[in-house]
């Protein structure tokens, strides 16, 4: 009998200990988990253990969206924040908050992100004269204007621009957390700096895998006046204008367009500056080393005028070699500038008058082609009867000489 009584006493002691432990947890300011016992419009009762039920008041439910309230079902286990406990003669009354519990969880997450220095995304929900207001779960955060990069803080129309940002998602970094003062400060500028550091580290790793002399495939991402940018597996390299082709190129769009897949040659890597210099032309045979395989002095070829200068016109031949038509070789007429005769992109026939592979120069002539064509046209258009007769000239000369002799004798 003693043993049974001892077991009963131990069980009672355990129950009392459990109840005391539960009561210790049920204190204002604590977050506990409970089970939804009942739900009706305007109020929710939650069983938080030890036969205690707490009430979530209507004004607290107003802090939740209709969708969030509708998602709560009887039997669900949910976190609740204990607002107040009070006892009367009949029962213990406990007031709970769902919104505060969720907010406290968000504060915990904000403190974690702050310590970890992680970047987060947050939606702009409004603004005031000092900056933007963003949502962080059930906590509101603030981004000071000086911490924005989307809009310059000192710009004249910053208020209008801030209004336009409402609804946008920004990458931010938490720079201050103060739960007691309900203060959560974020920075877009700090996030951008952190992203630059991460990208630099990632780019450095990718650069280590590349070597000068490698040939790799890439895709053209953008064109600029000075060259084309090509993505070669996470790194944007530059093909300078001079490395696009062996011939003169005025703009990259003459050779490439955005989206083109191209093979490129890596001829320079600057690890410190994290820059990669690429070449398109170095994957093609150097045309001047083979120039005499295709061209000879006095050969007449088709060409396209690429550039006009004060001293002459540059012309591209077979999209392979570029030569110069000096202003003196453009026309027999006296001209002060090539534009008087020629224009860029004009197709012409030229005679090769000089080739210098070592200096990569080719001299061309337009007028010598025209002179030959004029002579050929003359021979074609002049009838044989009208052509000068050598015998007739000889007889005329003899008669003249005879008459002269006779006059001398007289």
Q: What per-residue confidence (pLDDT) applies to 397?
A: 43
Q: Is 315 exposed, middle or buried (CB count within 10 Å of its CB: 0-12, 13-18, 19+)?
A: buried
pLDDT tens sequence across 250-273: 899 989 999 999 999 999 998 888
Break the chain into its structural domains and give their ranges. Answer: 26-100, 117-195, 213-283, 287-378
User: Alpha-carbon distance 175 to 184, whole Å?
Assistant: 8
Contacts 24+ apart (CB under 8 A), 197-205: 200/274, 202/234, 203/234, 203/235, 203/274, 204/271, 204/274
How confident is the prediction for the chain on average, in pLDDT?
Answer: 82
User: Alpha-carbon distance 295 to 314, whole Å?
Assistant: 17
Contact present, 145 and 158 (Cβ < 8 Å): yes
Question: Domain 213-283 class?
Answer: mainly beta
Q: Which string of DSSP letters, residue by residue, matches 295-357?
A: --TT-EEEEEEEEEETTEEEEEETTTEEEEEEGGGT-SS--SSGGGT--TT-EEEEEEEEEET
The CATH number fitting domain 26-100, selected from 2.40.50.140, 3.40.50.970, 2.120.10.80, 3.90.180.10: 2.40.50.140
Tell if the pTM clears 0.85, that is, is over it. Answer: no
pLDDT tens sequence across 322-362: 999 999 999 988 999 999 999 999 999 999 999 999 898 99
Tokens 């209709």, residue?
66
Q: What per-residue confidence (pLDDT) applies to 318?
A: 87
Q: List the beta bridge partners of residue 384.
A: none
Phi, psi at 225, each rounded to 5°? -60, -30
Question: Domain 117-195 class?
Answer: mainly beta
Does the domain formed by 287-378 have CATH 3.40.50.1100?
no
pLDDT tens sequence across 181-231: 889 999 999 999 988 888 888 888 888 888 889 999 999 999 999 999 999
Lowest-pLDDT choice from 118-127, 149-158, 261-270: 149-158
Q: Which string of DSSP letters, residue by residue, matches 143-197?
A: EEGGG-SSS-TT-TTHHHHHHHTTT-EEEEEEEEEETTTTEEEEEHHHHHHHHHH
* Count of residues in the chain: 410
Same fold yes or no, 26-100 and 213-283: yes
Contact present, 355 and 297 (Cβ < 8 Å): yes
């Amino acid at each position: 009998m003693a043993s049974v009584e001892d077991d009963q006493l131990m069980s009672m002691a355990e129950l009392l200990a459990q109840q005391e432990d539960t009561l210790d947890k049920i204190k204002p300011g604590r977050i506990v988990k409970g089970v939804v016992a009942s739900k009706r419009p305007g109020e929710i009762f939650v069983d938080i253990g030890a036969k205690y039920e707490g009430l979530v008041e209507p004004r607290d439910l107003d802090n939740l969206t209709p969708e969030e309230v509708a998602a709560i079902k009887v039997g669900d286990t949910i976190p609740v924040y204990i607002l107040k406990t009070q006892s009367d003669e009949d029962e213990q009354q406990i007031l709970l908050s769902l919104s505060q519990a969720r907010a406290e969880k968000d504060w915990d997450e904000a403190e974690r992100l702050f310590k970890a220095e992680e970047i987060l995304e947050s939606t702009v929900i409004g603004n005031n004269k000092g900056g933007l207001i963003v949502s962080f779960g059930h906590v509101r955060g603030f981004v000071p204007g000086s911490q924005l990069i989307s809009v310059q803080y000192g710009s004249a129309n910053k208020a209008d621009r801030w209004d336009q940002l409402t609804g946008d998602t920004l990458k931010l970094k938490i720079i201050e957390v103060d739960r007691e003062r309900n203060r959560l400060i974020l920075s877009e500028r700090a996030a951008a700096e952190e992203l630059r550091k991460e990208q630099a580290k990632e780019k450095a790793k990718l650069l280590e895998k590349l070597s000068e002399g490698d040939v790799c495939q890439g895709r053209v991402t953008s064109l600029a006046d000075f060259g084309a940018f090509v993505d070669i597996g996470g790194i944007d390299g530059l093909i300078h204008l001079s490395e696009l082709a062996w011939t003169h190129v005025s703009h990259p769009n003459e050779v490439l367009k955005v989206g083109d897949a191209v093979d490129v040659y890596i001829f320079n890597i600057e690890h410190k500056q994290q820059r990669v210099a690429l070449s398109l032309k170095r994957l093609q045979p150097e045309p001047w080393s083979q120039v005499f395989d295709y061209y000879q002095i006095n050969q007449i070829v088709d060409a396209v005028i690429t550039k006009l200068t004060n001293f002459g016109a540059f012309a591209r031949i077979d999209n392979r070699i570029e030569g110069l038509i000096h202003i003196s070789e453009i026309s027999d007429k006296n001209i002060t500038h090539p534009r008087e005769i020629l224009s860029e992109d004009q197709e012409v026939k030229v005679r090769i008058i000089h080739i210098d592979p070592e200096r990569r120069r080719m001299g061309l002539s337009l007028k010598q082609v025209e002179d030959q064509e004029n002579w050929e046209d003359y021979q074609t258009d002049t009838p044989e009867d009208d052509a000068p007769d050598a015998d007739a000239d000889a007889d005329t000369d003899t008669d003249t000489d005879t008459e002269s002799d006779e006059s001398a004798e007289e």
